[in-house]
A = this chain, B = another copy of it.
Amino acid sequence: MNDPKEIMRRVNALAKISEEADRLTRTFTSPAMRQANQLAAGWLRQAGMKVRRDAIGNLIGHYAGENPRSKILLLGSHLDTVRDAGKFDGPLGVVLAIACVENLHRRKIRLPFAIEVVAFADEEGVRYQTAYLGSKAFAGCFDPKDLRRKDAGGISMASAIENFGGDAAKIKSAATDPKQLIGYVEAHIEQGPVLEEKNLALGTVTAIAGQTRAKIIFKGRAGHAGTTPMDLRKDALCAAAELIMAAENLARKTDGLVATVGQIHAGPGAVNVIPGEAHLSLDVRHVKDSTRHAALQRLGQTALKIARKRGLKSHFEIVHEASSVACSTTLSGLLGKAILRRQKKWLQLPSGAGHDAAVMAKICPAAMLFIRCKEGVSHHPSESVKAADVKLALGVMNDFLQMAAEKYRQIHGV
């Protein structure tokens, strides 16, 4: 099971399981997810694992360690997708984890710790406008209030879980015991262009960046585009443009900061009318929360200044905030060592996207292996990963398990 072709075959097989006819969409507790779980369960068993499904629908394979009381190293990722998804985001991590265990199983190797492969039931949060339902239940931080959420068809999350064969009343039972865990390691496509830009197949993640989303509104005065001289205008779109420039400039000169205005609306929106109102979204991320907070404060002040200077009103509202989550330096160090065996350079990069590892990091050391994807594209059917990179990733993960076992024996004298 060191053939990347088999891994690609499995990724492709999962990609065929969709709830939509002409594109890949596999959401939480859908029939497609049930089918994907059945397929993956077969691979888990084939890899010598005992398979279970928890109350929220996570699929877990257990590969026993050298003794029944062995602690557990978790490997995994998620099997759900966004709408019209690519095939690697999530599934590749699950399939790689299974392949690692299958290698041990074939060679009849037991490690001083058990391995559990977790295929999380929901990371993307498409069906219920949430995120990380699977890993949250697994990590014991699922919010029961979420069970009342309804999907687009009016089906509550509780009903969806029951219909899937889970147990909404017992989500707590899905929580694993942190004391039993050595750590969580997740392989995932980078979803960004950095590895490709550096001409590297693999890297490790230093931290999952914290994120702030803000909503900004400028209110000026609509007016006739022909009859209102420039000095009598209160053009809300010009104010918005100034803020977009300010956000870009600040991010460019602040190492590691990214700032994005992804949505803009100018009203009334006629060719010959000065915009009286502009609405913008702002997404700011950085691995250091203090840097991110400082950037937000700065941009909030900038919005005020722009509005004051132009005689407009401004509104700056934080609508979402998530702290940065650091990865385990120990686990990442071992991954890095394994990477250096097969690749000249060990690149450590932050993850600007969220991952199950961010949730798992709350209960145990967590690390991530990033795999280069074509042009950094993800959440799109054109998501693409080279077979050679997959082979390298599998090699690194195999080596990592060996090194982790050695280190574990050294420390614990087993």
Contact = CB atoms under 8 A, between A and B. Distances in A.
A264 B266 contact: yes
Interface in A241-265: 241-242, 244-245, 248, 251-252, 256-264
Given A232-B193, A262-B274, A263-B269, A285 B252 contact: no
A358 to B, nearest CB: 12
A211 interface: yes
Contacts of A248: 230, 235, 238, 241
A235 B252 CA distance: 13
A271 B266 contact: no
Contact of A266 (B213, B262, B283): B262
A184 B275 CA distance: 34
A263 B377 CA distance: 29
A30 interface: no
A199 interface: no
A125 interface: no
A174 to B, nearest CB: 28
A413 interface: no
Count of chain copies: 2
Interface in A183-210: 190-194, 197, 209
A245 B238 contact: yes
The interface size bin for chain A is 35 or more
Nearest to A373: B227
Nearest to A231: B252
Nearest to A375: B221
A225 B266 contact: no
A298 to B, nearest CB: 15
Interface string A254-296: 0011111111101001111111000001010100000000000
A376 B227 CA distance: 8
Nearest to A221: B375
B274 A227 contact: no
Contact of A192 (B190, B228, B244): B228
A387 interface: no
Interface in A356-414: 375-379
Given A193-B223, A271-B283, A283-B272, A229 B258 contact: yes
28 contacts: A190-B227, A191-B227, A192-B227, A192-B228, A193-B232, A194-B227, A197-B232, A213-B271, A213-B272, A225-B285, A226-B258, A226-B353, A226-B354, A227-B352, A228-B258, A229-B256, A230-B251, A230-B257, A237-B244, A238-B244, A238-B245, A238-B261, A241-B242, A245-B245, A260-B272, A260-B274, A262-B272, A263-B270
